[in-house]
Copies of this chain bind each other. A is one copy, B any other.
């Protein structure tokens, strides 16, 4: 009945972390139950004690992402005091994750693209990650004084970032990533 940070919770967190990495590197469909089990160092049916279905694991992975990204956004707000600087921090995330982006694409974008194909219910689950950034960016554009078009600007920036990630991933091009990030920051400064 009690809920302390027991060993089981650590195992659960391990599973989620392994699943997140595997989903990112190989996709949701490309990652089998078995592979998650092996990566977590468990036994076959043991994982069932923690998650009944693969979808449940995805849900936990999304929540894990949410926690991390929420902390990241809070840090950006703490570290920068102008809306422009905060928006630039968002763009800097792109160049800060050069390697992974070129190697595996954007974790949020590729997950949504994969799930959007056939399983719209699951994609709705993954979409909250986009919502998080969209809403945060919208708030920053409001701070900048673009109240009426704030959300459109947020989606524009989100889309630009997605596009950059796709092309950089397809062509394994780190320089493009840097170049486009600079353009995005110039765009922010000119607003």
Contacts and interface: CB of A to CB of B under 8 A. Distances in A.
A116 B158 CA distance: 21
Interface in A108-164: 109-110, 112-114, 116-118, 123, 127, 130, 152, 155-156, 158-164
A80 interface: no
A140 B29 CA distance: 39
Complex copy number for this chain: 2
A179 B158 CA distance: 14
The 7 closest A-B pairs by CB, nearest first: A163-B163, A159-B163, A159-B167, A162-B166, A162-B163, A27-B117, A29-B29
A36 to B, nearest CB: 15
24 contacts: A25-B117, A27-B114, A27-B117, A30-B117, A105-B116, A105-B117, A110-B113, A112-B170, A113-B166, A127-B170, A130-B170, A152-B179, A155-B173, A156-B180, A156-B183, A158-B163, A158-B167, A159-B160, A159-B163, A159-B167, A160-B160, A160-B163, A162-B162, A162-B167
Contacts of A173: 155
A113 B167 contact: no
Interface size class of A (residues with CB under 8 A): 35 or more
A176 interface: yes
A122 to B, nearest CB: 12
A104 interface: yes
A169 interface: yes
A26 interface: yes
